[in-house]
Structure 1
Amino acid sequence: MVEVLILVLFLISGGATGWMGVHLLPQEMLDDVTDVQRVRLGLTGLGTGIGLVAGLVFKRLRLQLMQQVRTMPTDLLISRSVGLILGLLVANLLLAPILLLPLAGGVTLVKPLAAVLSNVFFGVLGYNLAEVHGRTLLRLFNPTSTEALLVADGVLTPATPKILDTSVIIDGRIRGMLACGLLEGQAIVAQTVIDEMQQLADSTNLEKRAKGRRGLKLLRDLRDTYGRRLVINSTRYEGTGTDDRLLLLASDTGGTLVTADFNLAQVAQVKEIKVMNLSELVIALRPEVQPGDELLLKIVREGKEESQGVGYLEDGTMVVVEEGRTLIGSRQPVVVTGALQTPTGRMVFARRDKNGHKNNRSSKGSKSKAARSDSRTDSPEEQPST
């Protein structure tokens, strides 16, 4: 209804401008015209067409502006508004001498044209400058703010909002990241993510239903814990799926997409969108294992090759042990021979440390012998009297 009203207003304004604009034409031109009424109708039609085009453009700009306002951080919204106001103020100050000039005839059309062009130019210029240097602009209003000084000097980087994917909400790792302070700024949950978790919670599949309920419960707990820091974005973007809508949201807000989906992270990087892949983060935080390191590893299952056994480190890294199939279920000393980094994780290769195993048994035997000798050579006070 609002869009239709906007179009009607622009049509009426354009038609009225064309109808009344016939008086702005030079008198010499009107003297050469035999039918002024036809010229008036022509100008009215032209003005109506221009008003229709302007209304459609304004409608699209209004939708984009409303989407940005709903998802834009408060400080950026304030800085852009101040920049726009300052740009319009400068435009009108520079325009005042032009409007006071005594122009005659058709030259008077320069005044409204200059007013429109100057307001558009300086308004857009102030908006863009505030977008780039908005933090510095806010520093003028609060020069004693320590954060404003650090941001203006480039020492402190402003935190970007974090847009949460369904995968990081369901697996629960986002709770620990927020608690440890690894994620700064606002955590944005898109409406499409909530809808997807609701569909999972209503599914007839027990596993999907459990995931959906776990994700909704986690969001409720995060809301109770962090309050306004958790933002629910109600903007409904057009797209073929949740991933497309999340990419549009991240592009509009300039935030960082937090996901555990490898494919979604790759698409975000192709579109030059900031992304934090939790799988890559986990890999980066794992302790480094170098060739030659000795490990005491429990071999739990068979490997792909005939003689291989497989074990796991404490962080979940898979270790393939050569000639370890016959030792499944036992804990054996192994020596790392190499590592392979893959997009989905890291794989470590090792071999049995036979010398270490013998040394281990010999050390155990020496310890037992030493214990027996210590028991035989007790102190005189502890020996029984004869």
Structure 2
Amino acid sequence: MMHAAFKRGEQPGSNTMVEALILILFLISGSATGWMGVHLLPQELLDDVNAQWVRLGLTATGAGIGIVAGLVFRRLRQQLMQQVRTMPTDLLVSRAVGLILGLLVANLLLAPILLLPLAGASSLVKPLAAILSNGFFGVLGYNLAEVHGRTLLRLFNPTSTEALLVADGVLTPATAKILDTSVIIDGRIRGMIGCGLLEGKVIVAQTVIDEMQQLSDSNNLEKRGKGRRGLKLLNELREAYERRLVINTTRYDGAGTDDRLLQLTEDTGGTLVTADFNLAQVARLKSLKVMNLSELVIALRPEVQPGDELNLKIVREGKEDHQGVAYLEDGTMVVVENARSAIGERRPIVITGALQNPSGRMVFARLNKDSAPVGGGKESRNAQPARKSKNNERPTPESR
């Protein structure tokens, strides 16, 4: 314990020593540059002034620039070390590998240019091309590793447990989830990410952000509210899941947001998450992976089977003269036969069937004439919906 405490207390001192050493090195480098830089001045200028004073002035200027550069470098180092400490190992390795691959591609493409026999002012093309190509391909490799980092790691470590499970078909690799405008405005995507239902990176296309910004600036109050709600949700997701949420700034050519999202889904191989039924159908026609939020919600609803007995309130009349309409707790509509006269009352009903369609589910039932109305025919505040299935009904002692 004493040794561990000593180690923890020793770390801030070592960091301070390293930072002081960095400042000293930059100070010495700047001073030496100023001291030696006097030889770069024209000889005519040195003949007119005292060369010693010029040397001292350049040395002082170089020392000042060195201190400023050292402070900037120290700040950048602190930020980098903080990110490295909090960054997962796989993400750190994937970013490093992506950066290295980007620089490698840049230098391979740069080799023919460096071999060109350029002279004079045209020789500046070589260092300029080197800077631009390394910067561009380095950032490109870094960003690709940000989105496809885990896949990239499997290429370098094909014998890992995860890679073997994927190869055997036991484990399916997580694909990036591309959010549509509808699911962002809907708001339920926050809960899906929070409970772990959505795995992998969450990609928000720039075209989606532009569309929500247009909605936020709309003169229509409803559209403006939807746009602002969507932008607020994105900010909350960015704060809560900073590393998982990726803003894709690629601008695709297309007639609208839907076309651009389909192109992004096809290019990345991700899964399109949407609440738009038509967009989901188009994505399936193009053999793209799609997750329809409405279908997911329907799949998670509790099932009711023919023969189940429920106590529901008949809230309104149905399309037919004799029908009444009730609702389950999840909002599913129940059409009850011969229940028009019971509107406003809570009655026992028996499920007779259900109809499932892409837009939702409809349940059909009839009044249970063998049971008396709950609360004497009128709704009682203390009456609770009861559910009983004939298939699972426990026999009474008399029936035995």
Q: TM exceeds 0.5?
A: yes
Structure 2 residue 265 is matched with structure 1 residue 262? no
Which SS does the other structure have where 1:267 is aligned?
A: helix
Q: TM-score, normalised by structure 1?
A: 0.57
**What are the residue-to-residue correspondences of 1:18-33 with 2, within 5 Å?**
none
Aligned residue in 2 for 1:137: 155
Say yes or no: does 1:217 pair with 2:220. Answer: no
Whole-Å separation in 1 of the counterparts to 2:346 and 2:374: 15
Structure 2 unmatched runs, 5+ = 1-90, 105-150, 377-400
- Of 290, 300, 308, the residue aligned with 1:275 is 290
2:350 maps to which of 321, 335, 344: 335
Instruction: Label 1:309 to 1:289 Cα distance change in 2 as closer, same or farther (>3 A).
Output: same
Match of 2:205 among 190, 202, 227: 190
Counterpart secondary structure, 1:257? strand
Contact 2:346 2:374 in 1 (8 A): no
- The 1:252/1:358 distance shift into structure 2, 3 A limit, reads closer
The answer as to whether partners of 2:347 and 2:374 remain within 8 angstroms in 1 is no
Q: Which amino acid aligns with 1:275?
A: V
Mapped to 2, the partners of 1:216 and 1:287 lie a distance apart of 32
Of the candidates 156, 171, 183, which is equivalent to residue 171 of structure 2? 156
Distance 1:183 1:324 in 2: 43
- Report the Cα offset of residue 185 of structure 1: 0.4
Larger radius of gyration: 1
Question: Displacement, 1:137?
Answer: 2.8
% identical aligned pairs: 73
Three-state SS of the structure 2 residue aligned to 1:311 is strand
Aligned to 2:39: none
Q: Distance in 2 between matches of 1:74 and 1:332?
A: 62
Say whether residues 1:295 and 2:310 are aligned partners. yes
Residue 354 to residue 145, structure 1, CA distance change in 2 (3 Å): same
Letter in 1 for 2:254: G
Contact 2:204/2:248 (<8 A) preserved: yes
Determine the structure 1 residue equivalent to 2:365: 350
Closer/same/farther in 2, CA of residues 85 and 170 from structure 1, 3 Å limit: closer
- CA distance 1:163–1:80, change in 2 (3 Å): same
Q: Secondary structure at the match of 1:355?
A: coil
Asked whether the equivalents of residues 178 and 273 of structure 2 are also in contact (C-alpha less than 8 Å), the reply is: yes
User: Can you list the C-alpha shifts for 1:338-362, whole angstroms capped at 9, x where unaligned?
Assistant: 111111011000010111227997x
Q: Show the counterpart of 2:299.
A: 284
Whose helix fraction is larger, Structure 1's or Structure 2's? 1
Q: Residues 286 and 159 of structure 1: is their aligned pair in 2 closer, same or farther, counting only changes over 3 Å?
A: same
| Cα distance in structure 1, aligned partners of 2:175 and 2:323 | 47
Cα pair 2:347 2:373 within 8 Å, conserved: no
TM-score normalised by L of structure 2: 0.56
Give the Cα–Cα distance (whole angstroms) in 2 for the partners of residues 208 and 260 of structure 1: 17
SS of the equivalent of 1:316 reads coil
Contact kept in structure 2, 1:79 and 1:137, CA below 8 Å: no
Matched, 1:173 2:188: yes
What per-residue deviation string (whole Å, max 9, x for no partner) do you get for residues 49-82 of structure 1?
xxxxxxxxxxxxxxxxxxxxxxxx9999999999
Q: Give the number of equivalent residue pairs.
A: 244
Q: Is the 8 A contact 1:322 1:352 kept in 2?
A: yes
CA contact (8 A) 1:302 1:308 kept: yes
Secondary structure, counterpart of 1:306 in structure 2: coil
| CA distance in structure 2 between the aligned counterparts of 1:81 and 1:230, rounded to whole angstroms | 20
Give the corresponding residue for 1:235. 250
SS at match of 2:272: strand
Aligned residue identity for 2:198? L
Does the alignment pair 1:245 with 2:260?
A: yes
